[in-house]
Structure 1
Amino acid sequence: MTSIRSIDPSIIVDPGTASALLSGRKTQVRVGVRSVLSRSLPGDRLWVRESCIAGRREAGQDYATMLGKAEFAIFADGWRRYRDGSGQPGRRPGDDDYEWIAATHMPRWASRMTLVVEWTRAERLQQITRPDIRAEGALPILGGLLWRWPRPIPGRHLTARRAFAANWNVNHPTPGDRWEDNPPVIVLGFRVESIQPR
């Protein structure tokens, strides 16, 4: 298998997944065999893309701005990532007028996390175990009687497998890639390197 090191690979996450990564709850991800990420090898580094607001500071105040003029990026949890590579906590964005930048357009300098691949394995999607589902970021509630994903993903499910299947199908609706199709996947186990303290 050929490594993906030469293409500066990235992975897109929502705010709930970012929180799970930062807290250490998410340590695995499954990708389809046609994904470029399926060629990842131990030691490969995947930079994390998140939706953000482009910001600048003027007269002691933070302002939203155009991406080209941004001094920093503001994430949903309020963290500020600066062009110089530093970061600091801040207020969560609360103004509905802010223009969010889609994760696919987040600039490389704004990434606050890198996933370092530690191991990989091939399997069928439905081979996932309950510990794997937890490592994917699912949360047991009521002592494990119900399961859910970190917000903003809605829903509560009676089992960990149902929670994973529902979430998988939201992100993989194409016939052949769905849970019920049991496609082949590559599991990536990783550690998170972050400038943001946990």
Structure 2
Amino acid sequence: MKERPILFNTQMVKAILEGRKTQTRRIINPQPTFKENTGFHWKGYMYGIGSDYAETMHNFTNRNCPFGRVGDQLWVRETFAIVPETAYRHSEVNKLNHPNDQELSIIYKQGFHLSKSGFSWKPSIHMPRWASRILLEITNVRVERLTDISVKDALSEGIEHKSMNCPRHEFFQLWNSVYGDMAHEQNNWVWVVEFKQV
């Protein structure tokens, strides 16, 4: 079993903590090409020569996914801040004591509803392992085109389905808010990583 970091924005951290998000899609970089009866071509390598679609998908996924394999774990990096330990000692703010300094605590932007003073939020990319409060176990990894997402999978991406729109449409709106206007129309190959909270 290996352990790797993974970034999530505040909205998706909320969805994970509420149990609504059990999947994430990440763009494969660089993009592979797929040719029937020959398989995926990627980074100068060919996987699945003479294979069908399902076989080359299996071979490609098992050899290349940067997030790991089934059973591996992902620790979540999210937006956080380091504050004096006394600042929120008697509040309901979700916090974690600093392991190297008892006078400091870590707080998380997701779920923080108080007015802040005297500190600034640190980007998730800078979160150290010890500050992470969410650990995920990979339960499945596969490759697919972005627009092949099903309604069920769109909901598993953490969509808060409150409008009359189809969950797939709402997922594409979320995708475009991260990757740029109409980015879903590029229909990239993506890693689909399914997980559960540990």
Q: Equivalent of 1:43, from 59, 71, 74?
A: 71
Larger radius of gyration: 2
C-alpha distance in structure 1 between counterparts of 2:88 and 2:26, whole Å: 43
Question: In structure 2, how many angstroms separate the alpha carbons of the residues matched to 1:190 and 1:170?
Answer: 23
CA shift at 1:38, angstroms? 4.2
Task: Pick closer, same or farther for the CA change 1:116–1:61 going to 2, 3 Å.
Answer: closer
Q: Which residue of 2 aligns with 1:179?
A: 184
1:56 to 2:84 alignment: yes
Q: Tell me by how many angstroms 1:92 deviates.
A: 3.7
Amino acid at match of 2:75: W
Match runs of 1:1-198 below 5 Å:
5=2, 8-34=3-29, 38-58=66-86, 71-77=104-110, 92-95=113-116, 97-141=118-162, 145=164, 158-173=165-180, 178-193=183-198
Show structure 1 runs of 5+ residues with no match: 79-90, 146-157, 194-198
What is the deviation of 1:94?
1.4
SS in 2 for 1:109: helix
What is the DSSP-based 3-state SS (H/G/I as helix, E as strand, rest coil) of the residue aligned with 1:189? Answer: strand
Native 8 Å contact 1:32 1:38 kept in 2:
no
TM-score by length of 2: 0.68
Q: Take 1:54 and 1:17, find their aligned partners in 2: how far apart are those partners?
A: 21
- Write the deviation string for residues 151-191 of structure 1: whole angstroms up to 9, x where unpaired: xxxxxxx332221112112322399xx31011111211100
Tell me the CA shift for residue 56 of structure 1.
2.5
**Cα offset, 1:14, TM superposition:** 1.9
CA contact (8 A) 2:109 2:121 kept: no
Shift of 1:101: 0.9
Label 1:169 to 1:57 Cα distance change in 2 as closer, same or farther (>3 A). Answer: same
SS in 2 for 1:123: strand
Partner Cα separation in structure 1 for residue 121 and residue 107 of structure 2: 9
Letter aligned with residue 49 of structure 1: R
**Cα RMSD over matched residues?**
3.0
Alpha-carbon distance, 1:61 to partner? 5.5
Residues 11-38 of structure 1 deviation map (CA, whole Å, 9 limit, x = unaligned) = 1112221111011110001112228854
Percent of aligned positions that are identical: 29
In the alignment, structure 2 segments of 5+ residues that lack a partner are 31-63, 91-97
Give 1:135's aligned amino acid: S
Change in CA separation of 1:108 and 1:141 when aligned onto 2, cut-off 3 Å: same
